[in-house]
Structure 1
Amino acid sequence: MATVGVKAVDVIDFFPDVGDDLSKITWGHAINDKDLLQSSIDNATIMMLEADVSPGRLIGQSPDDPHIPIMAHPPYETSNLSLEMWIDEVIKANENGKNKGAKLDFKSLSIVKYSLEY
């Protein structure tokens, strides 16, 4: 398992346009598929991306494949986006100067540990 070093950034420093009024931070909710993720990244008015992490499979995977962390809200158990893919896209967006914060809503305790190892 790789270890990633992350320096904590103050919200006001990350989103300087809000000044001291954190209520000005705008959210995109249930960003659980590729198209919605890309459009939310491209939308300059969306600052925070909220998504749901559930155990499941990517569309097209065999029912025999093990569950992995996917971006889906129960009762859905398939998605076109895994947690790994989602995080990679958000990191890439930030590296390209698009300040996007992330909030992950883990829908199953069983997937949290696996997500940290994944």
Structure 2
Amino acid sequence: MAACAGGPGSWSENILDYFLRNNQITTEDGAEIIWYHAANHKSQMQEALKSAAHMIEADVLLPSDGSEHGQPIMAHPPETNSDNTLQEWLAEVVKSNKGIKLDFKSLAAARASMPLLDIVKQRLQCSVWMNADILPGPNGSSKVVDANAFLDTVTSFFPDVTFSLGWTTGWHPEKVNEGYSWTMVKEMDHVCSGLTQPVTFPVRAALVRQSCSQLLWLLKRSNRYSLTVWTGKNDSYPTEDLLYIRDYFNKTQVFYDILEPQSHEFRQAIGI
């Protein structure tokens, strides 16, 4: 397996540029990037490393005993335990040529993780995204991660990183689900307008079609901005929504971290 290659600052390199330069994709199109979602446990991590995925997404939290001195582990709530620590996860991932997106579930998890990432920084020269949900969003009920503290924590170690900054969201099968409001996108722009790093906004696939005007406005605020469309495990939405999103936005500004069967149907429909 080829290890990451690149120079200083490549953590902020656009992933399309990175994977094009390494001949892993053929065109400047966010839909070409293949994702492996929630590569948390050791078995999922190994599967992700062997897969065709370009980007591996995983979740970082502190163990359920609540100790701030505990080792960060790889798990997605409601799980609070794992057979994989962040340290073990990084030791395997640095041997690959995959980009990574780390989703921090709390400020404490982010603070505990930065020194571990710092140790492997020279060996981790692929694209690295740091994610947290920093603002309340449509139907969101989870606790947000304090935006300024998260940004300060990450940039104090890694000033050249790609941020993935999202909203807490929910989706309910029995009711009309409203999308991202003007207030939500303007608040996000306010948080991000002073940043110099690339920022991608993770948006929930089932909520994007009804928010296209707001999200397009947000993308137009800076050429450093992009969207990453993701799906909840039990969300229901038609593949047509993904095709609508693809037609509405610039293909270089939208990535698709989506689950099956939509991922296969979507890629087939657009000829990738």
Partner of 2:114: 116
SS of the aligned residue for 1:12 comes to helix
Q: Compute the displacement of 1:13 (Å).
A: 3.5
Q: Provide, for residues 71-107 of structure 1, a one-character-per-residue CA deviation record: whole Å limited to 9, x for no partner.
A: 001122211111111112111113xxxxx11001001
1:89 to 2:89 alignment: no
Instruction: Give 1 or 2 for the bigger CA radius of gyration.
Output: 2
1:10, distance to aligned residue in structure 2 (A): 3.7
The corresponding residue for 2:61 is: 54
The equivalent of 2:78 in structure 1 is: 75
- After superposing on structure 2, the runs of 4+ consecutive aligned residues of structure 1 that deviate more than 6 Å are none
Which residue does the alignment assign to 1:104? 102
Unaligned runs of 5+ in 1: 58-62, 95-99
State the AA in 2 paired with 1:11. I
Q: Is contact 1:28–1:48 with CA below 8 Å preserved after alignment? A: yes
Higher relative contact order (CA 8 A, sep 6+): 1
Is 1:14 aligned to residue 21 of structure 2?
no
Indicate yes or no: 2:32 matched with 1:28. Answer: no
Tell me the TM-score normalised to structure 2 length: 0.35
Structure-1 separation of matches of 2:44 and 2:26: 24
| Unpaired runs of at least 5, structure 2 | 1-6, 117-272
Contact between 1:18 and 1:25, CA under 8 Å: does it hold in 2?
no
Distance 1:53 1:21 in 2: 28
Distance 2:62 2:8 in 1: 26
The aligned amino acid for 1:41 is L
2:50 equivalent in structure 1: 42
In structure 1, what is the Cα distance between the partners aligned to 2:8 and 2:38? Answer: 25
Q: Deviations 1:42-81 (Å, cap 9, x if unpaired)? A: 112x111000001017xxxxx7x85211000112221111
2:259 alignment partner in structure 1: none
Q: Compute the RMSD of aligned alpha carbons.
A: 2.1
**Deviation, structure 1 residue 39:** 1.1
Figure out how many residues of one structure are paired with residues of the other and give that number.
102
Q: Quick one: distance in 1 between partners of 2:102 and 2:115?
A: 16
